[in-house]
Structure 1
Amino acid sequence: MGIDLGTANTLVYVSGKGIVLQEPSVVAIDHNEKIALAVGEDAKRMLGRTPGNITAVRPLRDGVIADFDTAELMLKSFIQRVNEGKPLLLPRIVIGI
């Protein structure tokens, strides 16, 4: 699996399948529950439209990871989505930023 972690968008490539995911690099976080409510396109639609306890953020800025915890939530969500919720056994993942 190859992941292009970009400031604006994240792409996931799977060998033999090509690019299987292309989503905005955005996460909506509920600060009360400390969970990600939405990731990717769903979170992008929430930018600037959330109540006080929810923030939609871009974890990367200017080509670098600005918020490691949020970037981790985003990556986990994208990997689970691509892998259809199945656990990764002996994962081989390359990530480029």
Structure 2
Amino acid sequence: MARDFAIDLGTANTLVWSRGQGIVLNEPTVIALNQRTGDVLAMGHDAYSMIG
């Protein structure tokens, strides 16, 4: 059985939609990086909470 997904990489939020379930992910489109190493520290809500 095929699964149908849609991904919206919006400017404010990233959404993932699944047939039969609707929106299964709604996260801010934000990534926190370590400035020295470039490592990803957090994504989505966790990274958004680090702003400021």
Shorter-chain TM-score tier: 0.7 to 0.9
Structure number with the bigger relative contact order (C-alpha 8 A, sep ≥ 6) is 1
Aligned alpha-carbon RMSD (Å): 1.2
Per-residue Cα deviation, 1:32-91 (whole angstroms, up to 9, x for no partner): 22221111111111112xxxxxxxxxxxxxxxxxxxxxxxxxxxxxxxxxxxxxxxxxxx
Residue in structure 2 matching 1:44, options 35, 44, 48: 48
Ranges in structure 1 where 5+ consecutive residues have no aligned partner: 49-97
Higher strand share: 2
Counting matched residue pairs gives: 48
Ranges in structure 2 where 5+ consecutive residues have no aligned partner: none
Give the share of equivalent positions with the same residue, in percent. Answer: 54
Aligned to 1:3: 7
- Alpha-carbon distance in structure 2 between the residues aligned to 1:27 and 1:44: 8
SS at match of 1:41: helix
Structure 1 stretches of 4+ with a deviation exceeding 2 A read none
- Alpha-carbon distance in structure 2 between the residues aligned to 1:36 and 1:16: 32
Aligned to 2:34: 30
